[in-house]
Chain A
Amino acid sequence: MNATTHTATRAEVCAAACADLFRGDGEIVAAAVAGFVPMLGSRLARSTFAPDLLTTDGGPALSGEPVPLGASATTVEGWLPFRDHLWLVLNGRRHVVMGPSQIDAHGNTNISCIGEWERPTRQLLGVRGGPGNTLLNPTSYWVPRHSTRVFTGKVDMVSGVGWDRGAHEIRRVVSNLAVLDFDTPDRRMRLRSVHPGVSVADVVAATGFELVVPDEVPETRLPDAEELRIMREELDPKGLREREVPS
């Protein structure tokens, strides 16, 4: 074990896993709207192995450089107001990370409401851009609290379409416990790796449907020393990531 094994927090492991979502994406917009951790991950990817990635400062500015969480872009390389963002969904040069309230085994997701849509028991956001994002763009998900309430057998309202409903690509789900993907013949969710300190049984117990679990489940990679430095000193000096995923 090297030094970082002992020092990387769970949130930092999650952020590095979110950075890995963008490997191979090239020169597209990373729309990591689901929270601090995926936002940090996208900017970390750009700061390290994916320099061509386009990122925003959380507003309509495409920043010239990866921007620290919560800061505004000092150099702006492009303008992406909401209307152009919505057209970009159709254009396709975009990988979005959303936060589902519910997700099923094929990656169908719900952010609209809990219960019957006609009269929900809990009204949530509404479908937002979920239907378009999932149909037309690579989509990943970030779940800061992995539980059977989120990972459920059937979502109450399909706001984001899964692999079995014509999704363009549901790439991965990063949670506070594990990384999951759909690299199975029938595109069912598979346990890709568990974060250090998490057991396979922990993930299975927190998942409300039958997960595909390979015989050997590796540990999620640790961020290297340079990635830790960039997260801690440059991109998230206030430690907002730690608020989202308490260690």
Chain B
Amino acid sequence: MSSKVLSIEAVVGSLESGMTLGIGGWGSRRKPMALVRAICRSPITDLTVVTYGGPDVGLLCAAGKVRRLVTAFVTMDSIPLEPHFRQARQSGKIELTEYDEGMFMFGLYAAAHRLPFLPTPVGLGSDVLRINPELKTIRSPYEDGRELVAVPALTMDAALVHMNRADARGNAQYLGPDPYMDDLFAKAADRTYVSCERLVDTEDFAKEGPVQSLLISRAHVTGVVETPNGAHFTDCAPDFGRDEKFQKLYARSAADPAEWAEFSDRFLSGDEAAYQDAVRVWREENR
């Protein structure tokens, strides 16, 4: 039984500039933030990021890592708009492929199942087709003859997802109320890295949740890394909820260059352990 357990640095060290990188979670929910923070510290650049965007996108934009973003939205849920993403768009620093949420999901399903595209009517009539001139439509070969959008597969070189539990072989379990699309990301990517709140022995999955909570199979996983509080400050139910206070601090800081410098210096200048320590101290101060 081989172990796929890696360090954060080893995962990020295996990524390269110019890659297409999928990021699991949804908005400000169960994002692999520890891995995102590590990418921000790394020399990696020129990424195409494929995700239902949240503060992961904001941090990567702020660090100048994103060449193109493929998404349906960027939001922090309780705070609707993401300041760094807004700045990146408004200053023309990133390219964007903008799909409807369901189109995006079809792109994931297609990539996860090695299909070139999946058909959906969604997108017709809207400006999604205008802003994505590469999108093609296809006509149903059956009697209905309906015109449909052929959503191309959202293939990716690597995907990062954060789960509640995983074992050393790469099986991974979600314990919250929503799997998001993490299994699809895992299947769509050439390589998938799972970060998790806690590594457990395989036999202990059953103590944590029902068999249906085993979302990701080791067949789709290249590496596993244990990152306690690794989704912070996004929601990671039931291990922890979103750190709303910290998210507010992040959003406020991100909207102002001087405050962002201060935030960066305090929280993002060291490694993951330093980040978690700095957050702990900040929490003590702001109880």
Contacts and interface: CB of A to CB of B under 8 A. Distances in A.
A61 interface: yes
Interface of A: 59-61, 79, 81-83, 86-87, 89-90, 112-113, 117, 119-132, 134-136, 157-161, 165-167
A120 B127 CA distance: 14
Nearest to B80: A125
Given A124-B81, A132-B102, A132-B122, A119 B90 contact: yes
Contact of A135 (B81, B86, B124): B124
B221 to A, nearest CB: 20
A61 B90 contact: no
Given A128-B101, A129-B100, A61 B125 contact: no
A127 B99 contact: yes
A127 B128 contact: yes
Contact of B121 (A113, A120, A136, A157): A136
A199 B125 CA distance: 35
Nearest to A86: B102
Nearest to B85: A123
B31 to A, nearest CB: 14
B92 interface: yes
Nearest to A121: B90
A86 B101 contact: yes
A166 B124 contact: yes
Contacts of B89: 113, 119-120, 123
Given A132-B101, A135-B124, A166-B125, A125 B81 contact: yes
A126 B76 CA distance: 13
A135 B147 CA distance: 13
A158 B122 contact: no
Interface residues of B, number: 37
Contact of B128 (A79, A120, A131): A131
A135 B122 contact: yes
Interface in B73-121: 73-75, 80-81, 85-86, 89-90, 92, 98-103, 105, 120-121
Interface stretch (B178-186, B187-195, B266-274): B178-186
Contacts of B123: 131-132, 135
Interface of B: 26, 53, 71-75, 80-81, 85-86, 89-90, 92, 98-103, 105, 120-128, 130-131, 177-181
Contacts of A135: 121-126
A82 B130 CA distance: 26
B38 to A, nearest CB: 26
A129 B101 contact: yes
Given A82-B26, A127-B128, A160-B126, A120 B90 contact: yes
A157 B120 contact: no
A121 B131 CA distance: 16
Q: Which of B85, B92, B125 has the most CB of A within 10 A?
A: B125
B177 to A, nearest CB: 5
Contact of A89 (B102, B128, B179): B102
Contacts of B126: 127, 130-131, 134-135, 158-161, 165
A158 B129 CA distance: 10
B105 A86 contact: yes
Contact of A132 (B71, B85, B90, B100): B100
A5 B26 CA distance: 44
Please name the 5 residue pairs, one residue from A and one from B, whose CB atoms are nearest each other, closest first.
A126-B73, A161-B125, A132-B122, A131-B126, A165-B125
22 contacts: A59-B177, A60-B177, A81-B179, A82-B181, A90-B122, A117-B127, A119-B92, A121-B90, A125-B73, A125-B80, A126-B72, A126-B74, A129-B102, A131-B100, A135-B122, A136-B122, A158-B127, A159-B128, A160-B126, A165-B125, A165-B126, A166-B124
Given A127-B73, A128-B73, 18 more contacts: A60-B178, A81-B178, A83-B105, A83-B181, A90-B122, A112-B98, A126-B75, A127-B128, A131-B124, A131-B126, A132-B103, A132-B120, A134-B125, A135-B121, A135-B125, A157-B127, A157-B131, A161-B126
